[in-house]
Protein backbone atom coordinates (compact mmCIF):
# COMPACT_ATOMS: atom_id res chain seq x y z
CA UNK A 1 0.00 0.00 0.00
CA UNK A 2 2.84 2.42 0.81
CA UNK A 3 4.51 1.97 -2.57
CA UNK A 4 1.75 3.86 -4.41
CA UNK A 5 2.43 6.95 -2.29
CA UNK A 6 6.26 6.90 -2.29
CA UNK A 7 8.41 6.31 -5.36
CA UNK A 8 11.71 5.94 -3.48
CA UNK A 9 12.15 2.46 -1.94
CA UNK A 10 14.32 3.86 0.87
CA UNK A 11 11.38 6.03 2.03
CA UNK A 12 9.11 2.99 2.24
CA UNK A 13 11.82 1.02 4.02
CA UNK A 14 12.33 3.75 6.62
CA UNK A 15 8.63 3.71 7.41
CA UNK A 16 8.39 -0.07 7.61
CA UNK A 17 11.49 -0.36 9.75
CA UNK A 18 10.25 2.06 12.42
CA UNK A 19 8.55 0.50 15.43
CA UNK A 20 5.10 1.75 14.25
CA UNK A 21 5.62 0.68 10.67
CA UNK A 22 2.86 -1.93 10.61
CA UNK A 23 0.27 0.34 12.30
CA UNK A 24 1.12 3.13 9.85
CA UNK A 25 0.51 0.78 6.92
CA UNK A 26 -2.82 -0.22 8.46
CA UNK A 27 -3.62 3.46 8.89
CA UNK A 28 -2.86 4.07 5.20
CA UNK A 29 -5.26 1.26 4.29
CA UNK A 30 -7.90 2.84 6.54
CA UNK A 31 -7.39 6.24 4.84
CA UNK A 32 -7.75 4.62 1.42
CA UNK A 33 -10.97 2.89 2.42
CA UNK A 34 -12.33 6.22 3.70
CA UNK A 35 -11.66 7.81 0.31
CA UNK A 36 -8.78 10.13 1.26
CA UNK A 37 -6.91 11.58 -1.70
CA UNK A 38 -3.38 10.30 -2.36
CA UNK A 39 -1.88 13.74 -1.76
CA UNK A 40 -3.35 13.80 1.76
CA UNK A 41 -1.98 10.35 2.53
CA UNK A 42 1.43 11.37 1.18
CA UNK A 43 1.55 14.30 3.61
CA UNK A 44 0.41 12.32 6.64
CA UNK A 45 2.69 9.28 6.50
CA UNK A 46 6.07 11.07 7.00
CA UNK A 47 4.50 12.99 9.88
CA UNK A 48 3.48 9.75 11.56
CA UNK A 49 6.94 8.27 11.04
CA UNK A 50 8.44 11.29 12.82
CA UNK A 51 5.91 10.85 15.63
CA UNK A 52 6.98 7.20 15.92
CA UNK A 53 10.65 8.23 16.21
CA UNK A 54 9.81 11.02 18.66
CA UNK A 55 7.81 8.76 20.98
CA UNK A 56 10.46 6.00 20.81
CA UNK A 57 13.24 8.45 21.75
CA UNK A 58 11.14 9.57 24.73
CA UNK A 59 10.87 6.00 26.00
CA UNK A 60 7.60 4.71 24.48
CA UNK A 61 7.66 0.95 23.96
CA UNK A 62 3.95 0.04 23.85
CA UNK A 63 0.97 1.49 22.01
CA UNK A 64 -0.78 2.35 25.27
CA UNK A 65 2.01 4.83 26.01
CA UNK A 66 1.49 6.81 22.79
CA UNK A 67 -1.20 9.25 24.07
CA UNK A 68 1.31 10.66 26.59
CA UNK A 69 3.61 11.76 23.75
CA UNK A 70 1.08 13.49 21.47
CA UNK A 71 1.08 16.82 23.32
CA UNK A 72 4.89 17.18 23.49
CA UNK A 73 5.22 16.15 19.83
CA UNK A 74 2.66 18.74 18.70
CA UNK A 75 4.32 21.41 20.84
CA UNK A 76 7.79 20.71 19.42
CA UNK A 77 6.54 20.49 15.84
CA UNK A 78 4.66 23.79 16.19
CA UNK A 79 7.65 25.50 17.78
CA UNK A 80 10.06 24.32 15.07
CA UNK A 81 7.79 25.38 12.20
CA UNK A 82 6.14 28.39 13.80
CA UNK A 83 9.17 30.59 14.17
CA UNK A 84 8.53 34.24 13.25
CA UNK A 85 4.83 33.48 12.80
CA UNK A 86 1.77 34.74 14.63
CA UNK A 87 0.39 32.90 17.64
CA UNK A 88 -2.79 32.06 15.67
CA UNK A 89 -0.72 30.49 12.89
CA UNK A 90 1.28 28.44 15.42
CA UNK A 91 -1.96 27.11 16.92
CA UNK A 92 -3.24 26.32 13.43
CA UNK A 93 -0.07 24.36 12.66
CA UNK A 94 -0.53 22.38 15.86
CA UNK A 95 -4.15 21.57 15.05
CA UNK A 96 -3.23 20.47 11.52
CA UNK A 97 -0.79 17.81 12.73
CA UNK A 98 -2.69 16.77 15.86
CA UNK A 99 -5.55 15.31 13.79
CA UNK A 100 -3.56 12.64 11.87
CA UNK A 101 -1.56 11.66 14.97
CA UNK A 102 -4.70 11.26 17.08
CA UNK A 103 -6.37 9.28 14.27
CA UNK A 104 -3.50 6.79 14.27
CA UNK A 105 -3.42 6.50 18.06
CA UNK A 106 -7.20 6.06 18.27
CA UNK A 107 -6.90 3.06 15.92
CA UNK A 108 -4.23 1.52 18.17
CA UNK A 109 -5.70 2.45 21.55
CA UNK A 110 -9.53 2.12 21.38
CA UNK A 111 -10.01 3.83 24.75
CA UNK A 112 -8.15 6.96 23.59
CA UNK A 113 -10.25 10.10 23.08
CA UNK A 114 -8.39 12.85 21.26
CA UNK A 115 -8.57 16.57 21.83
CA UNK A 116 -8.57 17.75 18.22
CA UNK A 117 -12.23 17.41 17.30
CA UNK A 118 -13.74 16.15 20.52
CA UNK A 119 -17.14 17.46 21.50
CA UNK A 120 -18.68 17.84 24.90
CA UNK A 121 -21.68 15.52 25.10
CA UNK A 122 -22.36 15.31 28.84
CA UNK A 123 -25.46 17.06 30.09
CA UNK A 124 -24.85 19.96 32.47
CA UNK A 125 -26.29 19.71 36.00
CA UNK A 126 -26.87 16.00 35.41
CA UNK A 127 -26.55 15.20 39.13
CA UNK A 128 -28.37 18.25 40.56
CA UNK A 129 -31.27 18.32 38.04
CA UNK A 130 -31.22 15.01 36.13
CA UNK A 131 -34.70 15.38 34.64
CA UNK A 132 -34.27 18.80 33.03
CA UNK A 133 -33.46 17.72 29.48
CA UNK A 134 -36.20 15.08 29.54
CA UNK A 135 -38.53 17.90 30.57
CA UNK A 136 -37.45 19.95 27.54
CA UNK A 137 -38.30 17.06 25.22
CA UNK A 138 -41.40 15.57 26.82
CA UNK A 139 -43.17 18.64 28.22
CA UNK A 140 -41.89 21.54 26.16
CA UNK A 141 -41.54 19.55 22.93
CA UNK A 142 -38.31 21.24 21.89
CA UNK A 143 -36.33 20.08 18.89
CA UNK A 144 -32.91 18.51 19.20
CA UNK A 145 -31.22 21.58 17.67
CA UNK A 146 -32.78 23.81 20.32
CA UNK A 147 -31.82 21.40 23.10
CA UNK A 148 -28.21 21.57 21.94
CA UNK A 149 -28.31 25.33 22.50
CA UNK A 150 -29.71 24.75 25.99
CA UNK A 151 -26.86 22.37 26.73
CA UNK A 152 -24.24 24.82 25.49
CA UNK A 153 -25.53 27.77 27.54
CA UNK A 154 -26.04 25.69 30.68
CA UNK A 155 -22.51 24.27 30.45
CA UNK A 156 -21.24 27.85 30.48
CA UNK A 157 -23.44 28.59 33.52
CA UNK A 158 -22.30 25.42 35.29
CA UNK A 159 -18.63 26.21 34.64
CA UNK A 160 -19.12 29.71 36.07
CA UNK A 161 -20.73 28.37 39.24
CA UNK A 162 -17.88 25.92 39.75
CA UNK A 163 -15.35 28.68 39.22
CA UNK A 164 -16.88 30.99 41.83
CA UNK A 165 -17.37 28.17 44.35
CA UNK A 166 -21.14 27.64 44.10
CA UNK A 167 -21.35 23.85 44.47
CA UNK A 168 -25.06 23.40 45.19
CA UNK A 169 -28.15 24.84 43.55
CA UNK A 170 -29.43 25.95 46.97
CA UNK A 171 -26.56 28.45 47.06
CA UNK A 172 -27.87 30.36 44.04
CA UNK A 173 -28.84 33.99 44.71
CA UNK A 174 -29.73 37.13 42.71
CA UNK A 175 -26.21 38.43 43.36
CA UNK A 176 -24.63 35.33 41.81
CA UNK A 177 -26.92 35.52 38.78
CA UNK A 178 -26.26 39.23 38.32
CA UNK A 179 -22.50 38.67 38.43
CA UNK A 180 -22.82 35.88 35.87
CA UNK A 181 -24.78 38.10 33.46
CA UNK A 182 -22.28 40.95 33.91
CA UNK A 183 -19.33 38.70 33.13
CA UNK A 184 -20.90 37.09 30.07
CA UNK A 185 -22.15 40.41 28.65
CA UNK A 186 -18.55 41.57 28.28
CA UNK A 187 -17.89 38.96 25.62
CA UNK A 188 -21.28 38.29 24.04
CA UNK A 189 -23.56 40.24 21.76
CA UNK A 190 -27.19 41.01 22.52
CA UNK A 191 -28.57 38.05 20.60
CA UNK A 192 -26.28 35.56 22.35
CA UNK A 193 -27.00 37.11 25.75
CA UNK A 194 -30.73 36.93 25.11
CA UNK A 195 -30.42 33.22 24.40
CA UNK A 196 -28.23 32.69 27.44
CA UNK A 197 -30.57 34.49 29.84
CA UNK A 198 -33.66 32.82 28.40
CA UNK A 199 -32.08 29.38 28.83
CA UNK A 200 -31.01 29.97 32.43
CA UNK A 201 -34.43 31.48 33.21
CA UNK A 202 -36.17 28.30 32.02
CA UNK A 203 -33.75 26.22 34.07
CA UNK A 204 -34.38 28.29 37.21
CA UNK A 205 -38.16 27.91 36.85
CA UNK A 206 -37.75 24.15 36.47
CA UNK A 207 -35.56 23.62 39.53
CA UNK A 208 -37.96 25.75 41.59
CA UNK A 209 -40.92 23.71 40.35
CA UNK A 210 -39.08 20.54 41.31
CA UNK A 211 -38.34 22.06 44.74
CA UNK A 212 -34.60 21.88 44.18
CA UNK A 213 -34.36 25.52 45.31
CA UNK A 214 -36.56 27.34 47.79
CA UNK A 215 -37.61 30.34 45.68
CA UNK A 216 -38.13 31.24 42.05
CA UNK A 217 -35.05 33.17 40.91
CA UNK A 218 -36.05 33.41 37.26
CA UNK A 219 -37.04 37.07 37.58
CA UNK A 220 -33.51 37.90 38.73
CA UNK A 221 -32.15 36.73 35.37
CA UNK A 222 -32.51 39.93 33.36
CA UNK A 223 -31.25 39.88 29.79
CA UNK A 224 -30.45 42.82 27.52
CA UNK A 225 -33.36 44.86 26.25
CA UNK A 226 -34.18 44.41 22.59
CA UNK A 227 -36.49 46.84 20.91
CA UNK A 228 -38.86 45.75 18.20
CA UNK A 229 -37.72 46.67 14.68
CA UNK A 230 -34.49 48.12 16.11
CA UNK A 231 -32.19 46.40 13.60
CA UNK A 232 -31.99 46.69 9.84
CA UNK A 233 -31.61 43.31 8.04
CA UNK A 234 -28.19 42.88 6.44
CA UNK A 235 -29.26 42.44 2.82
CA UNK A 236 -27.15 43.20 -0.27
CA UNK A 237 -28.04 44.44 -3.75
CA UNK A 238 -28.79 42.14 -6.64
CA UNK A 239 -25.67 43.37 -8.45
CA UNK A 240 -23.65 42.25 -5.42
CA UNK A 241 -25.37 38.87 -5.63
CA UNK A 242 -24.25 38.57 -9.27
CA UNK A 243 -20.69 39.48 -8.29
CA UNK A 244 -20.74 36.80 -5.62
CA UNK A 245 -22.04 34.13 -7.99
CA UNK A 246 -19.49 35.12 -10.66
CA UNK A 247 -16.69 34.59 -8.13
CA UNK A 248 -17.44 30.85 -7.97
CA UNK A 249 -15.13 28.64 -10.04
CA UNK A 250 -17.71 26.24 -11.45
CA UNK A 251 -15.10 24.15 -13.28
CA UNK A 252 -14.14 22.24 -10.12
CA UNK A 253 -16.20 20.01 -7.81
CA UNK A 254 -16.20 22.53 -4.97
CA UNK A 255 -17.45 25.27 -7.27
CA UNK A 256 -20.26 23.13 -8.71
CA UNK A 257 -21.43 22.29 -5.20
CA UNK A 258 -21.13 25.80 -3.81
CA UNK A 259 -22.85 27.42 -6.80
CA UNK A 260 -25.91 25.24 -6.22
CA UNK A 261 -25.85 26.06 -2.49
CA UNK A 262 -25.67 29.81 -3.08
CA UNK A 263 -28.54 29.70 -5.56
CA UNK A 264 -30.74 27.82 -3.09
CA UNK A 265 -29.97 30.36 -0.37
CA UNK A 266 -30.67 33.47 -2.40
CA UNK A 267 -33.49 32.18 -4.64
CA UNK A 268 -35.69 30.66 -1.94
CA UNK A 269 -34.35 32.42 1.15
CA UNK A 270 -33.57 29.07 2.77
CA UNK A 271 -31.80 28.80 6.09
CA UNK A 272 -28.43 27.05 6.21
CA UNK A 273 -29.98 24.23 8.27
CA UNK A 274 -32.64 23.70 5.62
CA UNK A 275 -30.06 23.48 2.84
CA UNK A 276 -27.89 21.03 4.78
CA UNK A 277 -30.94 18.83 5.47
CA UNK A 278 -32.02 18.59 1.82
CA UNK A 279 -32.11 15.02 0.49
CA UNK A 280 -32.36 13.53 -2.97
CA UNK A 281 -35.98 12.60 -2.29
CA UNK A 282 -36.83 16.30 -1.78
CA UNK A 283 -36.35 17.04 -5.49
CA UNK A 284 -39.30 16.10 -7.69
CA UNK A 285 -37.77 16.32 -11.14
CA UNK A 286 -40.91 15.17 -12.93
CA UNK A 287 -43.13 17.90 -11.42
CA UNK A 288 -40.25 20.39 -11.17
CA UNK A 289 -40.73 20.96 -7.45
CA UNK A 290 -38.40 21.37 -4.49
CA UNK A 291 -39.69 20.24 -1.09
CA UNK A 292 -38.22 21.81 2.06
CA UNK A 293 -39.39 19.67 5.00
CA UNK A 294 -39.41 20.37 8.75
CA UNK A 295 -38.94 24.10 8.62
CA UNK A 296 -38.41 26.25 11.69
CA UNK A 297 -42.10 27.15 11.76
CA UNK A 298 -42.98 23.43 11.89
CA UNK A 299 -44.31 23.07 8.35
CA UNK A 300 -43.08 22.00 4.90
CA UNK A 301 -42.84 24.18 1.81
CA UNK A 302 -43.01 23.05 -1.82
CA UNK A 303 -41.30 25.45 -4.24
CA UNK A 304 -41.35 25.45 -8.02
CA UNK A 305 -37.90 24.32 -9.09
CA UNK A 306 -36.46 27.17 -11.13
CA UNK A 307 -34.52 26.30 -14.28
CA UNK A 308 -31.31 27.93 -13.02
CA UNK A 309 -31.40 26.13 -9.68
CA UNK A 310 -32.33 22.83 -11.33
CA UNK A 311 -29.43 23.04 -13.79
CA UNK A 312 -26.97 23.84 -10.98
CA UNK A 313 -28.21 20.88 -8.92
CA UNK A 314 -27.97 18.52 -11.88
CA UNK A 315 -24.44 19.66 -12.67
CA UNK A 316 -23.40 19.00 -9.08
CA UNK A 317 -25.20 15.65 -8.74
CA UNK A 318 -23.79 14.31 -12.02
CA UNK A 319 -20.22 15.56 -11.86
CA UNK A 320 -19.25 16.54 -8.30
CA UNK A 321 -21.25 14.70 -5.64
CA UNK A 322 -19.37 11.71 -4.10
CA UNK A 323 -20.65 8.22 -4.81
CA UNK A 324 -22.46 7.35 -1.60
CA UNK A 325 -25.57 5.54 -0.43
CA UNK A 326 -26.52 8.38 1.88
CA UNK A 327 -29.44 10.49 0.68
CA UNK A 328 -28.32 13.99 1.67
CA UNK A 329 -27.52 16.20 -1.29
CA UNK A 330 -24.50 18.20 -0.21
CA UNK A 331 -21.28 16.52 0.92
CA UNK A 332 -17.73 17.43 1.74
CA UNK A 333 -15.54 17.25 -1.33
CA UNK A 334 -12.55 15.74 0.48
CA UNK A 335 -12.57 12.49 2.39
CA UNK A 336 -13.93 11.42 4.73
CA UNK A 337 -17.10 12.13 2.79
CA UNK A 338 -19.70 13.39 5.19
CA UNK A 339 -22.84 15.47 4.67
CA UNK A 340 -22.26 19.18 5.14
CA UNK A 341 -23.68 20.64 8.34
CA UNK A 342 -25.32 24.03 8.60
CA UNK A 343 -22.11 25.73 9.76
CA UNK A 344 -20.31 24.55 6.63
CA UNK A 345 -23.14 25.84 4.44
CA UNK A 346 -23.01 29.26 6.07
CA UNK A 347 -19.23 29.36 5.86
CA UNK A 348 -19.35 28.85 2.10
CA UNK A 349 -21.64 31.87 1.75
CA UNK A 350 -19.26 33.90 3.93
CA UNK A 351 -16.31 32.81 1.79
CA UNK A 352 -17.81 33.95 -1.50
CA UNK A 353 -19.21 37.21 -0.15
CA UNK A 354 -15.72 38.14 1.02
CA UNK A 355 -14.12 36.84 -2.16
CA UNK A 356 -16.41 39.10 -4.21
CA UNK A 357 -15.54 42.08 -2.01
CA UNK A 358 -19.11 42.51 -0.76
CA UNK A 359 -19.05 44.57 2.42
CA UNK A 360 -21.78 43.56 4.84
CA UNK A 361 -22.05 43.16 8.59
CA UNK A 362 -21.69 39.52 9.65
CA UNK A 363 -21.62 37.96 6.15
CA UNK A 364 -23.09 34.48 5.89
CA UNK A 365 -26.04 32.44 4.68
CA UNK A 366 -28.53 34.75 6.39
CA UNK A 367 -27.21 37.63 4.28
CA UNK A 368 -28.61 35.86 1.23
CA UNK A 369 -31.85 35.02 3.05
CA UNK A 370 -32.29 38.69 3.96
CA UNK A 371 -31.56 39.64 0.36
CA UNK A 372 -34.26 37.28 -0.93
CA UNK A 373 -36.84 38.75 1.46
CA UNK A 374 -35.85 42.35 0.68
CA UNK A 375 -36.19 41.68 -3.05
CA UNK A 376 -39.73 40.38 -2.51
CA UNK A 377 -40.54 43.42 -0.34
CA UNK A 378 -39.27 45.76 -3.04
CA UNK A 379 -41.47 43.91 -5.55
CA UNK A 380 -44.46 44.77 -3.29
CA UNK A 381 -45.56 41.24 -2.51
CA UNK A 382 -47.90 41.00 0.53
CA UNK A 383 -46.11 40.40 3.83
CA UNK A 384 -48.13 37.24 4.47
CA UNK A 385 -47.08 35.81 1.11
CA UNK A 386 -43.44 36.64 1.73
CA UNK A 387 -43.53 35.17 5.24
CA UNK A 388 -45.00 31.94 3.92
CA UNK A 389 -42.42 31.84 1.11
CA UNK A 390 -39.39 32.03 3.38
CA UNK A 391 -40.90 30.14 6.32
CA UNK A 392 -41.26 32.91 8.91
CA UNK A 393 -43.00 31.80 12.09
CA UNK A 394 -44.34 35.26 12.88
CA UNK A 395 -45.50 38.21 10.70
CA UNK A 396 -43.24 40.46 12.77
CA UNK A 397 -40.24 38.64 11.30
CA UNK A 398 -41.22 39.90 7.85
CA UNK A 399 -42.38 43.32 8.99
CA UNK A 400 -38.88 44.48 9.89
CA UNK A 401 -37.92 44.52 6.21
CA UNK A 402 -40.42 47.28 5.55
CA UNK A 403 -38.80 49.57 8.12
CA UNK A 404 -36.34 51.08 5.64
CA UNK A 405 -36.65 51.58 1.91
CA UNK A 406 -33.09 50.54 1.15
CA UNK A 407 -32.94 51.65 -2.46
CA UNK A 408 -34.60 54.99 -1.70
CA UNK A 409 -32.03 55.72 0.97
CA UNK A 410 -29.22 54.88 -1.43
CA UNK A 411 -30.61 57.38 -3.94
CA UNK A 412 -30.75 60.09 -1.27
CA UNK A 413 -27.22 59.30 -0.12
CA UNK A 414 -25.83 59.51 -3.66
CA UNK A 415 -27.75 62.67 -4.58
CA UNK A 416 -27.18 66.26 -3.57
CA UNK A 417 -30.27 66.45 -1.37
CA UNK A 418 -32.10 69.03 -3.49
CA UNK A 419 -35.11 66.73 -3.93
CA UNK A 420 -35.63 66.79 -0.17
CA UNK A 421 -36.18 70.58 -0.06
Sketch the domain layout of the chain as residue ranges: 2-108, 132-220, 238-413
* Higher per-residue pLDDT: 361 or 160: 160
The beta-carbon contacts of 248-257 under 8 Å, at least 24 apart in sequence, are 248/352, 250/315, 253/319, 253/320, 253/333, 254/320, 254/333, 256/312, 256/315, 256/316, 256/319, 256/320, 257/316, 257/320, 257/321, 257/330, 257/331, 257/333
pLDDT given for residue 398 in this prediction? 45
* Higher per-residue pLDDT: 136 or 22: 136
Fold of 132-220: DNA polymerase; domain 1 (1.10.150)
Residue 94 has pLDDT above 90, yes or no: no
**pLDDT tens digit string along 167-181?**
899 999 999 999 999
Q: Identify the top-confidence range among 169-173, 219-223, 387-391.
A: 169-173
The residues that are catalytic are: 271, 296, 366, 369, 392, 401
Residue 10 has pLDDT above 80, yes or no: no
Lowest-confidence region among 1-5, 159-163, 219-223: 1-5
Q: What is the mean pLDDT of residues 211-216?
A: 93
Cα 15 off chain centre by: 37
Report the distance separating Cα 270 and Cα 273, nearest Å: 8
**pLDDT tens digit string along 354-378?**
999 998 877 888 899 888 887 777 6
Q: 238-413 architecture in CATH? A: Orthogonal Bundle (1.10)
Residue 197 has pLDDT above 80, yes or no: yes
Amino acid sequence: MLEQYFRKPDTVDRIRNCWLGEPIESYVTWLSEKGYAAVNVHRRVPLLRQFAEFSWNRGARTWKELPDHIGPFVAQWSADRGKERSADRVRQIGNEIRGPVEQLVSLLVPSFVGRGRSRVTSEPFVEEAPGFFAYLVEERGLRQATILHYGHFLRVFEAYLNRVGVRRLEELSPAVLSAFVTEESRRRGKTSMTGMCSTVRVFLRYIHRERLIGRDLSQAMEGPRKYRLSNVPRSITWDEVRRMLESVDRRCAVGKRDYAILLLLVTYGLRAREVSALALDDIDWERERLLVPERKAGHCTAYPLSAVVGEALLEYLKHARPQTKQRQIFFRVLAPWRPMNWQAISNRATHYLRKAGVRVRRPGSHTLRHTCVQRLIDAEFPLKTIGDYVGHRSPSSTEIYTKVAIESLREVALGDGEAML
